[in-house]
């Protein structure tokens, strides 16, 4: 120990502490909070300079961030609002109970909304702004399985009727029903944001807030007064998208974003963090990420106790009890709470000696106290410079009593029995008689009641009713056609990849006077990979703060230019974040009445495979735009190997019903597809979106043959007929993407060496052909005895002679899926198996999709039909140097 330091006595330390506290009290009385903060920061710096690690933690104490004396006056009528909220609670519970009485196991949730009713109610009465002529409106992400509460509220508002509620989860009933969860696909006038796949609501809401800002900063639409509210579960925050979302929102300082986390301490199976405290964990997480954190832990009956707690005993006790034990208090009586919680210290016991056991048991948590919630929301909307999270402590299954309040089984509780119904009715004062209550009738007060007048007045002052979705938008006038013209010409000898061709199309779209500003390029750190870096300077990379540094490549033509009005969303390495941007941009037509056209360009292997659930959501939410899978194909990407070489994504595109999937081979194919896509999505307003793969294999782009546009869009057209008019042996070769070239090479070999006249066809979409075939079959099945319809493949190939071979750079399941409609069984070549790093040539030999293997497959098929001798095939194998014992690429 430094000998300058004398060991102090306890008394000396006490005096010292007192003096310091008095100094602090002095400034607390006379200075603003900001000034006090500055002072303390200086003290901290001085201590740090002296090598002292300051004892400040990333979490704050376990009580409300806003103390009672800072709470604003509550502007509403508490009593009327309580009655409205109770009615909504009742109808939500009754709807789920009745659905499950009528059909055991139909499901639904009672306990989630029971815990969050106050969180929504305060929003509906005082905050959630709808779009009208004065306001651009808020976007509200409702927690997915709290949906019964939103339906019940809409019923009380008169927006849904009894039949709707009766048909909750019975969408196939006469007249339709209510979807289980928020699905714009199923209820396009009602639900705006799908949220029930946990984790996607949080991340999508963040990127929605960011996109609102992007539109504002680019001067496209001023959304500076719009807020994004996301209502989330505490269990849901375990999904890895959540920390990602939190980091992004903090970094971007999205003060137009408010998270409300319903901390009912429980998830599906049990406690979220039985052994610690989830609110404290979130406190640290969000604060660390730069958020404004507002904790609403305790209701107002705790205020007098906390104000008496000058020694900090209660605060200490609140902080040491873990969530599992708090949950235990929910299901315990007051005597237990007195003994277990307060009984650890005689002074604590003294603090509550004036309260009865019953009063102790009823002491509310913050998330059930409308005034505390109001204070938190008001502070949230006023906060500037950072997003706000409200951590509201609630009770799962609040009001369900014996049926599940705070119990571990509460999430699965789908109905209340007769006794529980009566108890619920009485607890919330619902005007339903004893005789009626067991039927769980829905209840809406008369139109001229105080409750109804109040409710409508509140909503009208906030611009309308929510949730609701705008399903009618002004379409785009027309698609500019000239800009696509140049792509009909081939590139002559010049070698061009489809990626390069796509980038050229995108650039021209961006430059277009009419729709250029609506194009939103989205890239997760791959612009250079796709040769798009030239767009940086031309169109700028979006950054709310512009560019605060001088980029190292400032001297270069295509320097890294960030700008407040930048058009490109360069997202960093996050496909999940990028697709969230895609969804926000692709739904702006509905959310903001703006036809932004997103192009999200990424490594195709990190798309449907990695963010498949978000793509599913994009379908549900009716997002529009283009997903561009770059570097596609198992053999087209030189050297990258197992992780990057994609032979799967087109198969993964099959299940998303409104996703159009194409793998174009030439610039003109891309141009035709993109032009028609914009027309269908933005002029005709079809609720579809596009997946296009592009490749980086350079080859000559051929000139567009006449009259093939319709075929390109339908998925198949004849590219190049054989010139061997008199040959007896015939074959039809089908290729896709970069492998189409191999088919063209095989056409030559077959003609020159084996006298086979082969026609070459381009398949642009297996999925389109497959769907067309399925729809044709279905029609025929349902119309026996009528003239059968023919699929597009059947019509296209009915007069074609010879054998059929299909080759692509994807798994063989794709050609196999369309084989049934061919005049005879085709042979499928494809790239099943893990990728390898090697040259394209070596890979195409390995996976058996090069011209040699296409030739061999054709000869095999001819021999099988007895058109040529088997010896010809054997000789060909020698000529083509194909080893019969080569490894099977599917298995290694
Ligand atoms: C990705 C995903 N995994 C699992 C589920 C199933 N699930 C629905 S609700 C739920 C528990 C939710 O707990 P929490 O987020 O705390 O919400 P609470 O009901 O407690 O408000 C689970 C696991 C889901 N919907 N999505
Ligand atoms: Mg929970």
Answer for the pair 680, 659: CB distance below 8 angstroms, yes or no: no
The alpha carbon of 193 and the centre of ligand 2 are apart by a number of angstroms equal to 20
**Alpha carbon nearest to ligand 1 atom 20, residue:** 267
Q: Closest ligand to 201 CA?
A: 1
Query: What pTM did the predictor assign?
Result: 0.95
Confidence of residue 58 (pLDDT cuts 50, 70, 90): confident
Confidence of residue 77 (pLDDT cuts 50, 70, 90): very high
Strand order in the sheet with 292-296: 139-141, 228-233, 257-263, 388-393, 292-296
Q: Is the peptide bond before 862 cis (omega within 30 degrees of 0)?
A: no
Q: If 0-12 CB within 10 Å is exposed, 13-18 middle and 19+ buried, where does residue 634 land?
A: buried
- Residues less than 5 Å from ion ligand 2, measured at CB: 233-235, 264, 266
Report the pLDDT averaged over residues 814-824.
Answer: 98
Task: Say what percent of the chain tops pLDDT 70.
Answer: 100
The alpha carbon of 236 and the centre of ligand 2 are apart by a number of angstroms equal to 7
The alpha carbon of 64 and the centre of ligand 2 are apart by a number of angstroms equal to 19
pLDDT at 1: 47
Q: How far is CA 830 from CA 650, 850, 888, in A?
A: 12, 10, 12
**Alpha carbon nearest to ligand 1 atom 10, residue:** 268
The alpha carbon of 843 and the centre of ligand 1 are apart by a number of angstroms equal to 44
**Alpha carbon nearest to ligand 1 atom 3, residue:** 198
Q: Which helix (H) or strand (E) holds 141?
A: strand 139-141
Report the pLDDT averaged over residues 245-265.
Answer: 98
Confidence of residue 793 (pLDDT cuts 50, 70, 90): very high
Ligand 1 nearest atom to the CA of residue 262, by list position:
21
Average the pLDDT over each of 54-58, 418-422, 460-464, 836-840 and give the range with the smallest value: 54-58
**Alpha carbon nearest to ligand 1 atom 4, residue:** 198
Q: Which helix (H) or strand (E) holds 668?
A: helix 667-678
The alpha carbon of 411 and the centre of ligand 1 are apart by a number of angstroms equal to 9
Average the pLDDT over each of 50-64, 240-254, 458-472 and give the range with the smallest value: 50-64
Report the pLDDT averaged over residues 61-84.
Answer: 97
**Alpha carbon nearest to ligand 1 atom 13, residue:** 267
Report the residue among 236, 279, 414 best suited for mutation to probe ligand 1: largest number of ligand atoms under 8 A from its CB: 236
Q: Per-residue DSSP letters for 808-823? A: -SS-THHHHHHGGGSS
pLDDT at 3: 57
Report the residue among 113, 233, 259, 410 best suited for mutation to probe ligand 1: largest number of ligand atoms under 8 A from its CB: 233
Token pair 């993964």: residue? 652
Answer for the pair 831, 852: CB distance below 8 angstroms, yes or no: no
pLDDT at 81: 98
Answer for the pair 135, 129: CB distance below 8 angstroms, yes or no: yes
The alpha carbon of 497 and the centre of ligand 2 are apart by a number of angstroms equal to 50
Q: Is the pLDDT at 44 greater than 90, yes or no? A: no
Pocket of ligand 1 (CB under 6 A): 112, 145, 196-199, 233-236, 262, 264, 266-268, 272, 396, 411
């Amino acid at each position: 120990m430094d000998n300058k330091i004398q060991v102090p006595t306890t008394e000396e330390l006490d005096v010292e502490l007192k003096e310091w506290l008095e100094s602090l009290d002095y400034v607390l009385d006379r200075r603003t909070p900001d000034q006090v903060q500055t002072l303390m920061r200086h003290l901290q710096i001085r201590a740090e300079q002296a090598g002292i690690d300051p004892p400040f933690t990333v979490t704050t104490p376990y009580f409300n961030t806003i103390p009672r004396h800072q709470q604003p006056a509550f502007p509403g009528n508490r009593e009327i609002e309580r009655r409205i909220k109770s009615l909504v609670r009742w109808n939500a519970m009754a709807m789920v109970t009745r659905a499950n009485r009528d059909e055991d196991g139909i499901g639904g949730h009672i306990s989630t909304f029971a815990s969050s009713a106050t969180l929504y109610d305060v929003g509906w009465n005082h905050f959630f702004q709808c779009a009208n002529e004065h306001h651009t409106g808020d976007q509200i992400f409702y927690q997915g399985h709290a949906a019964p509460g939103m339906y019940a509220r809409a019923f009380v508002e008169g927006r849904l009727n009894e039949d709707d509620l009766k048909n909750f989860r019975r969408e196939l009933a006469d007249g339709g029903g209510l979807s289980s969860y928020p699905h714009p696909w199923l209820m396009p006038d009602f639900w705006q944001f799908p949220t029930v796949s946990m984790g996607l609501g949080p991340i999508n809401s963040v990127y929605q807030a960011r996109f609102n800002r992007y539109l504002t900063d680019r001067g496209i639409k001023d959304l500076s007064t719009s807020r994004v509210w996301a209502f989330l579960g505490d269990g849901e925050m375990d999904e890895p998208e959540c920390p990602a979302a939190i980091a992004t929102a903090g970094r971007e300082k999205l003060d137009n974003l408010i998270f409300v986390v319903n901390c009912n301490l429980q998830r599906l199976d049990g406690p979220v963090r039985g052994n610690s405290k989830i609110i404290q964990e979130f406190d640290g997480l969000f604060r660390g990420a730069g958020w404004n954190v507002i904790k609403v832990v305790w209701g107002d009956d705790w205020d007098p106790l906390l104000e008496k707690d000058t020694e900090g005993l209660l605060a200490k006790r609140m902080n040491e009890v873990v969530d599992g034990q708090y949950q235990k208090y929910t299901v315990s009586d007051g005597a237990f709470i007195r003994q277990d919680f307060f009984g650890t210290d005689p002074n604590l016991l003294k603090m509550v000696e004036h309260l009865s056991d019953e009063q102790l048991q009823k002491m509310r948590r913050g998330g059930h106290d409308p005034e505390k919630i109001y204070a938190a929301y008001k502070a949230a909307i006023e906060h500037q410079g950072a997003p706000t999270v409200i951590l509201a402590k609630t009770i799962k299954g609040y009001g369900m009593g014996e049926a599940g309040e705070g119990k571990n089984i509460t999430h699965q509780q789908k109905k209340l029995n007769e006794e529980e119904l009566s108890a619920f009715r009485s607890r919330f004062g619902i005007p339903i008689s004893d005789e009626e209550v067991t039927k769980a009738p829905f209840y809406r007060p008369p139109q001229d009641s105080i409750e109804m007048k109040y409710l409508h007045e509140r909503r009208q002052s906030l611009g309308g009713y929510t949730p609701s979705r705008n399903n009618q938008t002004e379409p785009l006038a027309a698609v500019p056609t000239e800009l696509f013209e140049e792509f009909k010409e081939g590139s002559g000898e010049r070698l061009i990849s489809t990626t390069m061709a796509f980038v050229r199309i995108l650039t021209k779209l961006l430059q277009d006077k009419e729709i250029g500003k609506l194009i939103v390029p989205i890239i997760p750190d791959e612009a250079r990979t796709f040769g798009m870096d030239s767009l940086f300077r031309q169109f700028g990379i979006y950054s709310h703060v512009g560019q605060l540094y001088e980029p190292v490549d400032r001297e270069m033509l295509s320097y890294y230019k960030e700008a407040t009005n930048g058009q490109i969303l360069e997202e960093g390495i996050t496909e999940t974040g990028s697709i969230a941007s895609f969804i926000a941009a692709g739904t702006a037509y509905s959310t903001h009445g703006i036809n932004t056209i997103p192009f999200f360009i990424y490594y195709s292997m990190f798309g449907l495979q990695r963010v498949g659930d978000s793509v599913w959501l994009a379908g549900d939410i009716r997002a529009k735009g283009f997903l561009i899978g770059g570097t596609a194909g198992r053999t087209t990407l030189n050297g990258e190997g197992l992780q990057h070489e994609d032979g799967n994504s087109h198969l993964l595109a099959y299940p998303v019903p409104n996703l159009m999937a194409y793998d174009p081979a030439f610039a003109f194919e891309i141009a035709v597809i993109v032009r028609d896509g914009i027309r269908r999505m933005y002029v005709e307003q079809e609720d579809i979106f596009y997946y296009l793969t592009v490749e980086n294999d350079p080859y000559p782009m051929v000139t567009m043959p006449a009259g093939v546009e319709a075929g390109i869009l339908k998925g198949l057209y004849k590219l190049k007929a054989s010139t061997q008019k008199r040959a007896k042996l015939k074959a039809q070769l089908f290729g896709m993407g970069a492998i189409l070239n191999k088919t063209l090479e095989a056409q030559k070999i077959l003609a020159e060496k084996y006298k086979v006249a082969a026609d070459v066809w381009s398949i642009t979409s297996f999925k389109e052909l497959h769907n067309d075939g399925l729809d044709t079959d279905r029609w025929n099945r349902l119309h026996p005895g009528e003239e059968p319809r023919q699929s597009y493949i059947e019509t296209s190939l009915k007069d074609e002679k010879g054998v059929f071979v299909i080759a692509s750079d994807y798994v063989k399941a794709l050609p196999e899926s369309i084989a049934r409609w061919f005049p005879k069984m085709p042979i499928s070549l494809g790239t099943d198996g893990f990728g390898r790093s090697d040259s394209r040539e070596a890979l195409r030999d390995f996976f058996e999709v090069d011209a040699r293997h296409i030739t061999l497959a054709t000869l095999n098929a001819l021999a099988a039909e007895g058109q040529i001798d088997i010896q010809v095939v054997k000789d060909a194998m020698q000529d083509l140097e194909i080893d019969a014992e080569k490894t099977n690429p599917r298995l290694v």
